[in-house]
Amino acid sequence: MKLLFIGDIVGQPGRNAVKNLLPKLREQHALDFVIANGENSAGGSGITPRTAGEIFDAGVDVITSGDHLWDQKEVMELLANEKRFLRPLNYPAGTPGRGSGVFEVQSPKSKVQSPISIGVLNVQGRTFMQPPLEHAFLLAAEEVKRLRERTKIIFVDFHAEATSEKIAFARFLDGRVSAVVGTHTHVQTADEQIFPGGTAYLTDAGFTGPHESVLGREIEPVIKRFLTAMPQRFEVAKNRVQLHGAVIEIDDASGKAVKIQRVSENLI
Ligand SMILES: [Fe+2]
Ligand SMILES: [Fe+2]
């Protein structure tokens, strides 16, 4: 099977990019499944049922999130009712929502088994990240063990800042999951590879939104913030909108990755 993972969708420009580019990408790559990080989809901060609805309507099957999870209070509704919405797994026990799910791939092209199930897992790093969450590596390993009882095809969005933590986390899970792709930095890295155990990896998928910006926000207020150390309003920028992510091909029988390819598409 082939899946597309889309890096952090920032504001309305990001949602527009998904709406306009996803149908073409689905066809071009013969995609079976699409996962997107939606933590910045509402005005650049957080996610609401409305922005999540727009992303699902555009053809995304599962939405992951990260440290901006709580920025919009309406997220509580998603956490309570939307099974296709994931939050980082490693929140303390009792936190609303879920960190993983097993989903059925609609109309798979596979000859191996039908229907195909895919496990999706969202985990947050602990190095230079707020708030401090529970142990990412150990909880992820336990969750992967549970997911593997149902399917060998497992995708992990590791929402983290430090490249060392991201690489170590993915190396730790090599051979146990199909892919680990990082999010959060909003800067796409060029280190896509498949580890010896068969896990596809990319340190960061990048972000989907306006790239004439600082990580999706207007440039001037961010410069001013660094110059003066005074708080500024960071509006979502407008121009040079791109969709960033990665396409991953997975062997259905073994769950091992066959290919990983970075995606960076302009919205014209
Ligand atoms: Fe983000
Ligand atoms: Fe983040």
Provide the CA 138 distance to its chain's centre, in angstroms. 20
Ligand nearest to the CA of 187: 1
Handedness of CA 50, 54, 57, 59 (dihedral sign): negative
Query: What is the pLDDT, as a whole number, of residue 114?
Result: 72
Please enumerate, as own/partner, the contacts of 193-199 that have beta carbons within 8 Å and a separation of 24 or more.
193/260, 194/257, 194/258, 194/259, 194/260, 195/170, 195/171, 197/256, 198/174, 198/254, 198/255, 198/256, 198/257, 199/170, 199/173, 199/174, 199/175, 199/256, 199/257
Catalytic residue among 29, 68, 184, 186: 68
CB atoms within 5 A of ion ligand 1 belong to 8, 39-40
Instruction: Note the pLDDT tens digit of each residue in 122-151.
Output: 999 999 999 999 999 999 999 999 999 999
| pTM (whole model) above 0.95 | yes
Q: What value does the mean pLDDT of the chain take?
A: 97
Ligand nearest to the CA of 37: 1
Average pLDDT over residues 59-71: 98
The pLDDT score that the predictor gives to residue 268 is 85
Report the pLDDT averaged over residues 55-71: 98
Count CA atoms closer than 13 A to 93's CA, side-chain side: 1
- Hey, is 62 helix, strand or coil? strand
pLDDT tens by residue, 189-242: 999 999 999 999 999 999 999 999 999 999 999 999 999 999 999 999 999 999
